[in-house]
Amino acid sequence: DTGVSQDPRHKITKRGQNVTFRCDPISEHNRLYWYRQTLGQGPEFLTYFQNEAQLEKSRLLSDRFSAERPKGSFSTLEIQRTEQGDSAMYLCASSLIGSNEKLFFGSGTQLSVL
């Protein structure tokens, strides 16, 4: 399967700890997105990269969240000093410029903060 891969699938952590998630997009895709989804809600936009440049970041995103895509391929999302409210499914998606914004989603990383 050459779709979008996310690692880990599940992460349980204690409040105050730092966590990092990884996303490997479809290889030729130049756009990469991070979304967060909580129970009963739709995915909420967090941030977006075009190649290695982070072009947009949600105003709702806390300073504890940071994302990188250093070589324009895989991306990492780090959450520092996790809080219980950070518990959610973190989704990664990728797309190709000119593909009319068809996003391909990964299966997500389920974060539980105890």
Partner 1 sequence: AQSVSQHNHHVILSEAASLELGCNYSYGGTVNLFWYVQYPGQHLQLLLKYFSGDPLVKGIKGFEAEFIKSKFSFNLRKPSVQWSDTAEYFCAVKTGANNLFFGTGTRLTVIP
Site residues, partner 1 (CB under 8 A): 3-4, 31, 33, 35, 40-45, 48, 50, 55-56, 91, 93, 100-108
* Nearest Cα to Cα of residue 32 among 97, 111, 84, 78: 97
Q: In this complex, which beta carbon is closest to partner 1, that of residue 1 or of residue 14?
A: 1
Smallest distance from the beta carbon of 13 to partner 1, in angstroms?
Answer: 23
* Nearest Cα to Cα of residue 78 among 30, 39, 111: 111
45: its two tokens: 């936009």
CA distance 104 to 28: 12
Smallest distance from the beta carbon of 72 to partner 1, in angstroms?
Answer: 16
Smallest distance from the beta carbon of 19 to partner 1, in angstroms?
Answer: 21
